[in-house]
């Protein structure tokens, strides 16, 4: 393979765009960074392999498309001799059809667009990113990697809702999300602690988007998220679990339409609805911040209990994601009062963000694994380039 070849991994979130540029071989990227709080207050930082900030190309960060244009222009500016071999994209929803990474063409894009109602906060941005990359790199394979794919083999009882079966046949199912993160974490556990992967693991992906997954013998058997990326834990701006009666109340009593309800549930709820984002909450010391953190911790503990019950116990609890990897407070609070589950953390290790957090007396291993969704995407892009080298996606 051309040693000047590059593989771009793009991960468009609800208000962010993460990017990593990988060389022809190796797991360490040439460029990493992200745009955050995309919109009027959007910011972007891109760094090279040594951690030096790259000068950004001109552009605006008021939209995901604009942020991606800045990324692509900056990469071309920093690496003029680089030949883009493939671009990998995180796509939140793969529906019933996609359980593996796939090369994108117009037919695939049409199918992905049909899933936009399932993930309105993410899917349009994912598709826009693919189209922008196709325009920037004509003829280069574009590879879609699906967050739902990791969960597609779950048992029926964790795949359905207790509503008329025709909805299940139409695709109204519990899909689960954050699959790229869970894919990486399970791979790392298989590498560093295979005895744990042979048993019962709960992974807590805690960040602006948050979910938890029960993994039994390396396979997803239950997830806190369901049909959409709204369910389960409270998130940065998303509500998490909610009684459907609340939605009926909004419709009937407040006269809201579906667009207004969608705006509330996806953009005005979660930690923002309760108070603020987690970084601000931890820095604050007031009643509102305490309530928001208390609720977040309570929901994580409740989901952990439920997922452990699915597997008949838990051998390991793994934290990942921005909050899971960096918040000593949240990890400590989550693990409090879980001694009955065999969980006891070493507070010194927790303060140091050590890989193993559990104490020597803990029956359950508690760990941090720094997730690498970008690497999962890049590996899929490399595989596609190897298979399809010289062809047009």
Q: Percent of the chain at pLDDT above 90?
A: 79
Residue 329 pLDDT? 96
CA angle 20, 377, 177 (to 5 degrees): 115
HEC-encoded secondary structure of 188-219? HHHHHCHHHHCCEEEEEECCCCCEEEEEECCE
Q: What is the pLDDT of residues 351-391, one digit of tens each?
A: 999 999 999 999 999 999 999 999 999 999 999 888 443 33
Q: Over 80: is that where the pLDDT of 44 sits?
A: yes
Length of the chain: 393
Catalytic-role residue among 27, 147, 159, 252: 147
**Three-class SS of residue 125?**
helix
- What's the burial of 169, exposed, middle or buried (CB within 10 Å: 0-12/13-18/19+)? exposed
Asked if 261 and 251 touch (Cβ cutoff 8 Å), the reply is yes
Active site residue 183: no
**pLDDT tens, residue by residue, 147-200:** 999 999 999 999 999 999 999 999 999 999 999 999 999 999 999 999 999 999
* Greatest C-alpha distance within the chain: 63
Question: Mean pLDDT over residues 80-99, rounded?
Answer: 94
pLDDT for position 389: 38
Is the pLDDT assigned to residue 22 strictly greater than 50?
Answer: yes
For 36-47, give the secondary structure using H, E and C: ECCCCCCEEEEE
Helix axes 123-136, 64-78, angle to 10 degrees: 30
Given a cut of 60, whether residue 393 has pLDDT beyond it is no
| Structure tokens given for 314 | 């838990």
Give yes or no for residue 72 having a pLDDT over 90.
Answer: no
Distance CA 363, CA 209 (A): 29
The residue among 220, 225, 198 whose CA lies nearest residue 210 is 225
pTM metric for this prediction? 0.92
């Amino acid at each position: 393979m051309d040693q000047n070849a590059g593989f771009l991994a793009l991960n468009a979130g609800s208000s962010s765009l993460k990017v990593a540029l990988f060389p022809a071989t190796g797991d360490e990227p040439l460029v990493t960074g992200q745009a955050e709080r995309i919109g009027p207050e959007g910011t972007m930082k891109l760094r090279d392999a040594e951690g030096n900030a790259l000068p950004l190309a001109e552009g605006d960060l008021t939209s995901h498309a604009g942020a991606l244009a800045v990324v692509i222009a900056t990469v071309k500016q920093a690496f003029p001799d680089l030949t883009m071999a493939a671009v990998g994209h995180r796509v939140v929803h793969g529906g019933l059809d996609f359980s593996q990474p796939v090369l994108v063409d117009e037919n695939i894009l049409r199918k992905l667009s049909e899933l936009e109602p399932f993930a309105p906060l993410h899917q349009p941005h994912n598709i826009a990113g693919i189209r922008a990359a196709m325009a920037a790199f004509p003829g280069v394979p574009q590879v879609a990697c699906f967050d739902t794919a990791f969960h597609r083999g779950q048992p029926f009882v964790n795949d359905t809702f207790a509503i008329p079966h025709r909805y299940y046949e139409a695709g109204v199912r519990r899909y689960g999300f954050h699959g790229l993160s869970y894919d990486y974490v399970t791979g790392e556990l298989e590498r560093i602690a295979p005895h744990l992967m042979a048993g019962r693991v709960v992974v807590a992906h805690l960040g602006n988007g948050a979910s938890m997954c029960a993994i039994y013998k390396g396979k997803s058997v239950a997830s806190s998220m369901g049909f959409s990326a709204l369910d389960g834990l409270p998130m940065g701006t998303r509500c998490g679990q909610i009684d459907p009666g609340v939605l009926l109340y909004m419709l009937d009593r407040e006269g809201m339409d579906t667009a207004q309800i969608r705006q509330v549930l996806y953009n005005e709820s979660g930690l923002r609805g309760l108070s603020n984002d987690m970084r601000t909450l931890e820095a604050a010391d007031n009643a509102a911040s305490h309530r928001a953190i208390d609720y977040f911790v309570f929901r994580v503990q409740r989901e952990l209990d439920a997922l452990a019950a699915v597997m008949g116990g838990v051998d390991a609890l793994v934290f990942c994601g921005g909050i899971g990897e960096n918040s000593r407070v949240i990890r400590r609070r989550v693990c409090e009062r879980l001694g009955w589950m065999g969980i006891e953390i070493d507070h010194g290790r927790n303060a140091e963000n050590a890989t193993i957090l559990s104490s020597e007396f803990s029956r359950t291993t508690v760990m941090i694994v720094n997730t690498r969704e970008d690497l999962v995407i890049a590996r899929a892009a490399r595989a596609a380039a190897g298979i399809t080298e010289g062809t047009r996606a």
